Amino acid sequence: RGQPAARSRATRVRISLLTPPHSRALSPPRRSFAAPHTLSQEARPKRKTAEEKMAAFASAQFSITTAAPAARLTASTGRRTTVRVCAAAKGIVGDGRVKQVLSKEEFEAASASAGDNLVAVQISTKTCGPCKVVYPHFAGLSEELPNVTFVKIMGDHDVDTRALMKEWGVRVVPLFYLFRNGAKVGEWSGAKPDVLRENVLNACNSNEKAALETA
C-alpha cells in the first residue's frame, strides 16, 4: 500500500524540478533614462557682439605653406565670419595706385623705379579674409601718399609668386613689408587699419608726407 503513494510523490517532485513555478520567471530589466542636462542661464556661453566679432576677425592671421604646389590656409580663430567692407569710405572703388606684382623681376623693377622713395608691400592670398578687409585701407593710403610706391603680391597666384614667398620666408598673411633703396625697413602682420597707417607714415620722410599735409 505504501509504494504507490511514494511513487506519486516522487513523480510530483520530478515534475516540479523540470517545470519552474510561474513566480520564478525572470522579467527583463527596466532601462532607466537620465533627464536631459540643461544649462542654467549663468552657465550658458555669452554671445559675442558684432564689434567683438569684427575685432577678432581683423586680428586673425592665416598661415601659408609655400613649399606645397597649392597654398594651405588655416585660420587661427577656427570660425568663419562674414564682414562687409566699405571701400567707398576711403574714396577707393578699385586698387587706387597699387601695383599688382606677379614675380620677383616685376617687384625689383617697381622698387628700382621708386628710387629713394618708400615702397609699401602687401602680401595676400586668394582666400584670406583679413587681407580683403585691410586692402581698401591700403589702396586708400596709395591715393593719400602719391610719392610712396604701393605694391600688392598674391602669394598663391602661380609658381613665380610662390617661389618669391619661399625666398622671403612668408608664413602668415596679410603681411606687410616696407622697402627703401632695396633694403627692408619695416615688417608686420595683421589686418588692423590703424596699425597699417601708423607704420607707413612713420617710415615716410618729410617729402613723402608733404602731399598728405596739403590734402
Of the candidates 71, 92, 128, 133, the residue annotated as catalytic is 128
Helix axes 159-168, 104-114, angle to 10 degrees: 70
> 58, 64, 131, 178: which one is catalytic?
131
β-pairing verdict for 73-75 and 149-154: unpaired
- 106, 121 Cβ separation under 8 angstroms: no
Q: What type of residue is 26?
A: L
204 is catalytic: no
The 3-class SS string of 42-60 reads CCCCCCCCHHHHHHHHHCC
Cα dihedral 87, 91, 97, 102, rounded to 10, equals 10
- Catalytic residue list contains 128: yes
Catalytic residues: 128, 131
